[in-house]
């Protein structure tokens, strides 16, 4: 499994997200091929963002931050955003995406 030190490029993204969300931010985690260590050179960075509460505007803000990172660095970050309660609910329901995230995640 990958270590967080391998992904300094994500530090700025997570910093911007945590500033934007303030106390609402809980944590971020890398998952997918980059976390598993089997990514291709052109693979994106799948990043989970967990918050206390989420709405459409905050999701849009996080996507905008990812897009800004792409414009500035060429790094493609694909954020997946959940409130902590929805994440736990979906995990208990066996959501296949969350099964993958739990298996592969590298907390940021």
Q: What is residue 64's predicted lDDT score, i.e. its pLDDT? A: 98
Mean pLDDT, residues 76-98 taken together: 96
Mean pLDDT, residues 84-96 taken together: 96
> Three-class SS of residue 7?
coil
Q: What is residue 6's predicted lDDT score, i.e. its pLDDT? A: 63
User: What is the rounded CA–CA span in Å between residue 84 and residue 54?
Assistant: 9
Contact 86, 52 (CB under 8 A): no
Q: What is residue 41's predicted lDDT score, i.e. its pLDDT? A: 87
Contact 46, 100 (CB under 8 A): no
Mean pLDDT, residues 77-106 taken together: 95
Kind and range of the H or E run holding 17: helix 9-21
pLDDT at 3 over 80: no
Q: How open is the CA angle 34-47-38, to the nearest 5 degrees?
A: 10
Instruction: Dump pLDDT digits (tens) for 31-56.
Output: 999 999 888 988 999 999 999 999 99
Paired tokens of 105: 């995640």
> Which domains, from first to last, does the chain contain?
4-107 (3.30.460.10)
DSSP state of 4: G
């Amino acid at each position: 499994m990958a270590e967080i030190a391998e992904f300094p490029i994500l530090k700025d993204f997570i910093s911007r997200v945590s500033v934007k969300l303030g106390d609402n931010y809980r944590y971020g985690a890398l998952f997918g091929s980059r976390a598993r260590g089997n990514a291709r050179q052109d693979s994106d960075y799948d990043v989970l963002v967990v918050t206390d509460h989420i709405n459409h505007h905050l999701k849009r803000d996080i996507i905008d931050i990812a897009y800004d990172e792409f414009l500035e660095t060429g790094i493609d970050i694909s954020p997946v955003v959940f409130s902590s309660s929805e994440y736990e609910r979906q995990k208990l329901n066996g959501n296949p995406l969350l099964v993958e995230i739990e298996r592969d995640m590298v907390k940021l």
